[in-house]
Structure 1
Amino acid sequence: MSKDFSWDSAAEIAQAVASGQASAAAVVDDALARIGKLNPQLNAFTAVTADRARAKAKAIDASPDKKALPLAGVPFAVKNLFDVSGLPTVAGSKINRTHPAATQDQPLIARLEAAGAVLVGALNMGEYAYDFTGENVHDGPSRNPHDLTRMTGGSSGGSGSAVGGGLVQIALGSDTNGSIRVPSSLCGIFGLKPTYGRLTRARSFPFVASLDHLGPFARSARDLALAYDVMQGPDAEDPVCAQRAAEPTLPLLERGLDGLRIATAGGYFRKGASPEALEALDRIAKAAGARAEIEIPEAARARAAAYVITTVEGAALHIGRLRKQGNDFDPAVRDRFIAGAMVPGTLVVQAQKFRRWYREQVLKLFERYDAILVPATPCTAPKLGQVNFTLDGVDMPVRANMGLYTQPISFIGLPVATVPVPLSPLPIGVQVIAAPWREDVALRIAHALERMGAATAPRPNL
């Protein structure tokens, strides 16, 4: 009987493959079998690259240098807006399915594979990344591994489902307004939205160029750092990632919380939050030794400005498709883009001016604190098809408001690690926000919280 590698960490798998205790072929076959068994329930994958994965695993097993591969044999998958050689980059849409297949992999895929990781497929997502639910009208909804009747969150819903369900150790997603952090929270896993410009976005389908980030999901903070580190580095194909040198975080994890000044944000970030969100935040704040509760100024206005920029830039990108193939869009996505096309230019100018002011105010907080803790989502995973949820006694649309606490942060490009808190019956996440380019701080805190048992990725009953 073959070993079940599903719940081994990426670090454990890489060590076993490098030492010869396990073969990459066996690890990949186990992952493909689990995908075959569970994907019909989870609907996380839209394409499985089995032949490619087996060929890669065979090459790793034959390599004399596999001991030098930090991710030797580790299965991973990517949101289907990443270019994958041989597949069309569908970005969750119907329209893109007729596009030619990509001829090159997105650079982060290439960097992971150079470190020994093995791509096993492409993952479900909200259409054109304009989604917080994980419900795709063309491919069906990705399903939450902790309750198949509930949402994964979006737009990287397949990524959250695949990692949370044990189908892969690592997945990649994108985050414009919260699309890594929301699925991480609802699916009970770790996620990292790096600083804007840290990881290359070249050869991925864009949503809002001035807000788009790419980043990893994993079931442990160490695996998150391991994947993140091998993906770092400049890339001339992405102008905002052209110069920044790699800054390894993995060696810094063991420093723990010593010397770190940590605060929680109140005001906007507590108002309306569910009891579960507040319980998780308070539990993490206590474990982290948070010193104070502060207020992030004008967070509500920051979210409003983020919405203006999102809808206008998104509409500008898709205006040609809206004119020619409007009926092929998810109606909810189409209508939001059409609304964006009608936003007056004066509002966009005001939003960008405010953005600069807001960034200056938030950066002043990091003169006093190294990290700020806030909820990742206002509640645990809603039911599939649920239209509204209640915040502070007011019914709010799910699709628009699951990013209530994430949008004011990605709006100015700060690095964030989402940590899972295993409440019963459903997990929920907390954001660990650091200063620009200080992913090491966010990951150190995430790792320390995991070692304490305060942040843990629970296993689902699948």
Structure 2
Amino acid sequence: MSFDVFTPAHRIATEIREGGLSAETVTGAFLARIDKVNPVVNAFTDVTAQRALEQARGIDLARAAGKALGPLAGVPFAAKNLFDIRGLPTKAGSKINRDRAVATRDAALVERLTAAGAVLLGGLNMGEYAYDFTGENAHDGPGRNPHDPARMAGGSSSGSGAATAAGLAPLSLGSDTNGSIRVPASLCGVFGLKPTYGRLPRTRSFPFCDSLDHLGPFARDVTDLAMAYDLLQGADPEDPHCAQLPVEPTLTSLQRGVGDLRIAIAGGHFSTEGMPEAEAAVAAVARGLGTTRTFELAGAGIARAAAFLITNAESSTFHLDRLRQRADDFDPETRDRFLAGAMLPAAWYVQAQRARHWFHDEMLKVFADVDLIIAPATPCPAPRIGQKVLELRGETVPLRPNLGLFTQPVSAIGLPVAAVPVFGMGLPIGVQIIAAPWREDLCLRAAFALQKAGVCEARAPGL
């Protein structure tokens, strides 16, 4: 077969299993791509080349010996550097964590992809301690957008979005607390999946906010995204928040289409008035899914406020010792938000949790009448690196928090979301496909239908 770094992961795996490609050749091609392009996009902070080549050679030897290979045999992937990677300190985008002992075991999700035959290429850049929407890391430098390196990759999973978009890895792992998968997916023009809270184990990943942290995959192709997600599923006794649910494969349901689904466009808080790129993207997705139905999603602003408070309170408590002992080693913007959170009254946190639970119950009522909700992922395409403000609905507002304007209400209640990319007006911008809890299959069916129709696709950047 003709192979390049933008070949879908499922096709790479098939060719390796059938002998049309060697895993070592594929791994070597991606390592060469990283050498060439990573200095431009700054996606990788650590490249595990020796480990990757050794694993790839082992896969080729296993195939030559007639042994069965895993479903992702020889497919390269990378992981945000808050996932434990054996032999590396788990940086979580920080200066302080570089002094930690190296991990002796991979994170659970890294182990699951590796067990399926995927080849780990390394750790990826991110916003410090995941408290970021921009991807501008003060210690490792900003993650840069492959479609315009003068622009942000988005955060906090900046390296995951940039590496996937730039052809440095067909698959990557990220985390999402308030939008950290969906914002980079939107700005970099790739597909991302934030599963239901508790669906995937967070074992051996560095936490940010326990009530809201999710882990999930990025991909350039929806089949790849579904395949990776299916292999990541499963309970883990080491993560008490991971639901004890059976694995529910989604890959086999992609071809079912969306003709039987009730789909609506979210209004109110999710209005795209004055946001031309977001408005055009939502309209394109709505046409692609065959809906004109709209509804007001009441309470989303309250849920967003609750997410701010919960994130601030929980994360600052977690980092108190670091703040006391090494305050000068934080990015000042991150440090100041943690310090503010440490002084929040406890009653505010309790009230925020009540508001969050109220909005969750209200959303379950909505899903009695709707299967999928369409909403913008970000209010704009990728801003320029260093940009501090954003024009939003006739006001000048701080950019950093408002990149998460549309993602935070959904994170607050742990709903599954697929972020899908639209390139209609030049730079990519994403749209959220939101479903009821545990219905990732519906999100992925819609994403696949949009990709099949040519509405949503990941495009190779000119790097």
Pair 161,66 (structure 1): closer, same or farther in 2 beyond 3 Å: farther
1:418 corresponds to: 419
1:145 corresponds to: 146
How far has the Cα of 1:277 moved from its partner?
Answer: 0.2
Q: Is the 8 A contact 2:166 2:460 kept in 1?
A: yes
Describe the SS at the equivalent of 1:276.
helix
How far has the Cα of 1:301 moved from its partner?
Answer: 1.1
Q: Is the 8 A contact 2:272 2:379 kept in 1?
A: no
2:312 corresponds to: 311
1:166-185 alignment runs, 5 A limit: 166-185=167-186
C-alpha distance in 1 between matches for 2:263 and 2:2: 42
2:28 corresponds to: 29
Any unmatched runs of 5+ in structure 1?
Answer: none
How far has the Cα of 1:255 moved from its partner?
Answer: 0.2
How far has the Cα of 1:396 moved from its partner?
Answer: 1.3
Describe the SS at the equivalent of 1:281.
helix
2:333 corresponds to: 332
1:225-374 alignment runs, 5 A limit: 225-272=226-273, 274-374=275-375
Runs of 4+ in 1 over 3 A off after TM superposition: 64-68
How far has the Cα of 1:424 moved from its partner?
Answer: 3.4
C-alpha distance in 2 between matches for 1:184 and 1:219: 10
Describe the SS at the equivalent of 2:137.
coil
Q: Is the 8 A contact 1:91 1:129 kept in 2?
A: yes
Are 1:135 and 2:150 counterparts? Answer: no
Describe the SS at the equivalent of 2:167.
coil
C-alpha distance in 2 between matches for 1:154 and 1:334: 17
Q: Is the 8 A contact 1:24 1:61 kept in 2?
A: yes
2:214 corresponds to: 213
C-alpha distance in 1 between matches for 2:312 and 2:219: 30
Q: Is the 8 A contact 1:60 1:66 kept in 2?
A: no
Q: Aligned residue pairs: how many?
A: 461
C-alpha distance in 2 between matches for 1:291 and 1:140: 43
Q: Is the 8 A contact 2:265 2:375 kept in 1?
A: yes
How far has the Cα of 1:258 moved from its partner?
Answer: 2.3
Aligned-residue CA RMSD in angstroms?
1.2
| Residue type of the alignment partner of 2:205 | S
Deviations 1:72-115 (A, max 9, x none): 11000000000000000000000000100000000111110111
Describe the SS at the equivalent of 2:77.
strand
C-alpha distance in 1 between matches for 2:274 and 2:118: 38
How far has the Cα of 1:427 moved from its partner?
Answer: 0.5
1:10 corresponds to: 9
Deviations 1:404-456 (A, max 9, x none): 00000010000000000012320100000001000000000000000000111
| Residue type of the alignment partner of 1:233 | G
C-alpha distance in 2 between matches for 1:139 and 1:76: 20
Q: Is the 8 A contact 1:71 1:112 kept in 2?
A: yes
C-alpha distance in 2 between matches for 1:397 and 1:213: 25
C-alpha distance in 1 between matches for 2:427 and 2:352: 36
Q: TM-score, normalised by structure 1?
A: 0.98
| Residue type of the alignment partner of 2:146 | P
C-alpha distance in 1 between matches for 2:425 and 2:273: 20
Any unmatched runs of 5+ in structure 2?
Answer: none
C-alpha distance in 1 between matches for 2:349 and 2:425: 42
Q: Is the 8 A contact 2:84 2:204 kept in 1?
A: yes
Deviations 1:304-362 (A, max 9, x none): 11000000000000011001100000000000000101111111111111111110001
How far has the Cα of 1:62 moved from its partner?
Answer: 1.1
C-alpha distance in 1 between matches for 2:307 and 2:445: 28
1:20 corresponds to: 19
C-alpha distance in 2 between matches for 1:316 and 1:433: 31
Pair 352,199 (structure 1): closer, same or farther in 2 beyond 3 Å: same
C-alpha distance in 2 between matches for 1:40 and 1:105: 26
Deviations 1:107-138 (A, max 9, x none): 11111011110000000000000000000000
1:52 corresponds to: 51
1:396 corresponds to: 397
How far has the Cα of 1:242 moved from its partner?
Answer: 4.8
Q: TM-score, normalised by structure 2?
A: 0.98
C-alpha distance in 1 between matches for 2:245 and 2:206: 22
